Amino acid sequence: MAAAEGSGAGGAAKPLFAGLSDVSISEDIPVEGEITVPVGSCSPDEDYSTLDEPVRDTIMRDLKAVGKKFVHVMYPKKSSALLRDWDLWGPLVLCVSLALMLQGGSADSKEDGGPQFAEVFVIIWFGAVVITLNSKLLGGTISFFQSLCVLGYCVLPLTVAMLVCRLVLLAGSGTVSFIVRLIVVMAMFAWSTLASTAFLADSQPPNRKALVIYPIFLFYFVISWMILTFTAQ
């Protein structure tokens, strides 16, 4: 009896919803995020398949995703891969390696060492959070974690600059090495700023781009300054 009622109700409802197939979404409404939802019947299978696969495959898949994003940062084009599949692994790895390389001597030595690990870590994440909040308050359409992801990944050129600086410092620490380091750091700073601007500025209203770019400029400037003034013990 219940089944018959169900089918009867379904039959009565069909003409009501028949027109739904004609609805179409116009192309100029920007839709964010993944709108393809996996159909329920196949998701348990997919779940089991990623559970059963060897650990190496899982790790390699994540590593490949991170590597692809690194390439996107080094050659910034207007692709949306960085924004669509955000992840925070890359920024974490970059932040930790930069902080390790920037770490100075111990705190109670006669000559004060450089910034400590925690300092660099906090600066990078706190700075990224502030920039994200600022861009959201100015009316940006990008989400919180997407912005954090972009800002974190764009630290990559500066990490490369840090590596180069350390190698140059191994060779010597005179005026020539200072000039070389200055040029390298300035080039990488410009690259970082341009890369992050390419990704983030599009999400702002067009007349307010300068208001968003300035804090990003300041953020990378502070990091570049820490890299440039690093002296090996």
Partner 1 sequence: MQAGGSSGAAVIDMENMDDTSGSSFEDMGEMHQRMKEEEEEEAEAAVGDEEDGEFLGMKGFRGQLGRQVADQMWQAGKRQASKAFSLYANIDILRPYFDVEPIQVRNRLLESMIPVKMINFPQKIAGELYGPLMLVFTLVAILLHGMKTSDTIIREGTLMGTAIGTCFGYWLGVSSFIYFLAYLCNAQITMVQMLSLLGYGLFGHCVTLFITYNIHFHSLFYVFWLGIGGLSTLRMVAVLVSRTVGHTQRLILCGTLSALHMLFLLYLHFAYHKVVEGILDTLEGPNVPPFQRVARDIPVVSSAVLNTTVKVMALTS
Binding site for partner 1 (CB under 8 A): 30-34, 37-38, 40, 43-44, 46-47, 65, 83-87, 110-112, 115-116, 119, 122-123, 130, 133-134, 136-139, 141, 143-146, 178, 205, 207-208, 210-211, 214-215, 218, 221-222, 225, 229
Angstrom distances, CA of residue 177 to CA of 101, 160, 165, 233: 18, 16, 9, 16
CB of 141 to partner 1, least distance (A): 4
Residues 6+ apart with CB under 8 A from 73: 82, 153, 154, 156, 157, 195
Residue matched to tokens 């920039």: 131
CB of 143 to partner 1, least distance (A): 4
Angstrom distances, CA of residue 134 to CA of 46, 92, 127, 208, 212: 39, 22, 11, 12, 7
CB of 52 to partner 1, least distance (A): 15
The nearer residue to partner 1, 19 or 67, going by C-beta atoms, is 67
CB of 7 to partner 1, least distance (A): 21
- Residue 107's SS3 state is coil
The nearer residue to partner 1, 76 or 114, going by C-beta atoms, is 114
